[in-house]
Amino acid sequence: MRDAVEAGLALLSVGQVDDARRMLAYAMATQRADGGWPQNGLPDGRAFWAGVQLDEVGFPILLAAKLDENGALDGLKGVGAMILAAAGYLARNGPISPQDRWEENPGISPFTLGIEIVALVAAADRLPTVDRLYALSLADYWNERLEDWTYVESGAFIEEFGVEGHYVRIAPAMADGGLCGRVDVRNRVGEGVPAVSLIGMEYIYLPRLGLRDPRDPRIQNTLKITDSVLKVETPHGIAYHRYNADGYGEHEDGRAFDGTGIGRAWPLLTGERGYLDALLGIDPLPYLEMMTRMTGPGGLIPEQVWDGPAIPARGLEPGKPTGSAMPLVWAHAEFLNLLAARHYARPPKLLASVEQRYQARRPVAATWHWRRTEPFARLPSGRNLLIENVVAFRLHHGFDGWRDVTDRQSEPQGLGMHGVRLNADVLLGHATIEFSLYFPESDSWEGEDHHIALGETGRTAQLTKAGPLRPEETPLGDG
């Protein structure tokens, strides 16, 4: 679904409105009852692989929102129902995606999380009031926490490149160590690497989507690393590896990928890199030209190009297609999107609703959403606390070492979530909150006590008082 919607957005960006509408109609027709989509499927909509990638759930919302901005949704029935179901799926299952955009790892990726955030904001205009308020609150919270989950300030790259930090390719869930955890390299059997040592191009989507300024030092820090570690120069142009240590590609001697190999360079990522130049006001024409030179004999863009010495016996020439898929529709979509960005001097995927809400700056969310899947140890001062779950529960809580113990029943919060909200004024004057959850449906306790410190300290304080935020900014409201 990602590649299909990327193609639809690209076609829309160059004026092919009817094609984009048909793509959205196909997405609506193949949506599952739970609001999601399968990892991939046959043309008739039947699932082929059973994986879940949350960006694929967010992308159809983006396409609908972009068509709406162009006044091109008239006559398409069921758009509102699709958006409500997809937004609910994201809210119940995010921010951790079972698979990233390369269909390999679970965790939190800047790319996937960025799509989740903008999809919730884009969905809000077509949601009932309760769902709208919840979607915006969750989007603000995930957006504020994005760097907490995907940006590191330690690791080998920091010292080597003289930067203060960088975005990672993907971070495991908190239960698996978060940024301190390890990521399995899927095409190198038995290999795992620290999340902090794995770099990719995913971060470039943050400015593309309007979530961060392209001049943000964190974006520029990561660019310095990716241009050094992932960039490959060939006789036909520059391309990029998906990430360091990638094993998806031909072997060193040119033998075909057989479950292991060496990751090769992707023209698709040439387009992504060119897009960052476009956002910085630099003409991306060289990147468009390079993509055209890395095509096959029929002018089609491949998944990967050869980035080693020529091996004529295997038909492998530096900068030209390997034995990978060709055409890669996603790469053709990227070419059209970059072309449109150059022509209109505006990112085709940038939604007006996202631009207005965030202005490319990290927000300060009014409410932090605590979940068992992504808990936090400290809540900054002045924030509301929403303890939430996908099923109803009773909250058993106290303050400052289990004093003033109280039980409260959860209430529907929107988009299928249940929660107990503790407003900032209730938390004021307390140092900690302790709590546990009881589930009436199963007549069982969670079996674990939780503890949140109240007030700012350390990195949390720095992130909420500095960075791209302006001193006069106040927390966003939940709507």
Work out the angle between the directed axes of helices 110-124 and 79-93 (0-180°, nearest 10): 140
Can you give the pLDDT at residue 19?
A: 97
- The identity of residue 367, as a single letter, is T
Q: Phi and psi of 111, rounded to 5°?
A: -65, -55
Instruction: List all residues 6 or more positions away from 456 whose beta carbon is below 8 Å from its beta carbon.
Output: 378, 380, 381, 464, 465
d(CA 11, CA 391): 40
pTM over 0.85: yes
Can you give the pLDDT at residue 50?
A: 87
Can you give the pLDDT at residue 474?
A: 34
pLDDT tens digits along 7-26: 999 999 999 999 999 999 99
Can you give the pLDDT at residue 478?
A: 55
Contact (CB, 8 A) for 70 and 15: no
Those residues of the chain that have pLDDT short of 50 are 458-476
327 Cα distance to chain centroid: 25
- Closest CA relative to residue 98, chosen from 49, 168, 41: 49
pLDDT tens digits along 299-325: 999 999 999 999 999 999 999 999 999
Can you give the pLDDT at residue 426?
A: 96
Contact (CB, 8 A) for 99 and 51: yes
Domains of the chain: 2-358 (1.50.10.10), 367-465 (2.60.40.10)
Q: Three-class SS of residue 134?
A: helix
Q: Find where tokens 């709406």 sit.
A: 68
- 404 vs 26, 398, 399, 401, 430, CA distance in Å? 54, 5, 6, 9, 11
- 211 vs 218, 358, 446, CA distance in Å? 12, 6, 36
d(CA 234, CA 191): 29
d(CA 354, CA 359): 8
Instruction: List all residues 6 or more positions away from 263 whose beta carbon is below 8 Å from its beta carbon.
Output: 187, 241, 242, 243, 245, 246, 247, 248, 249
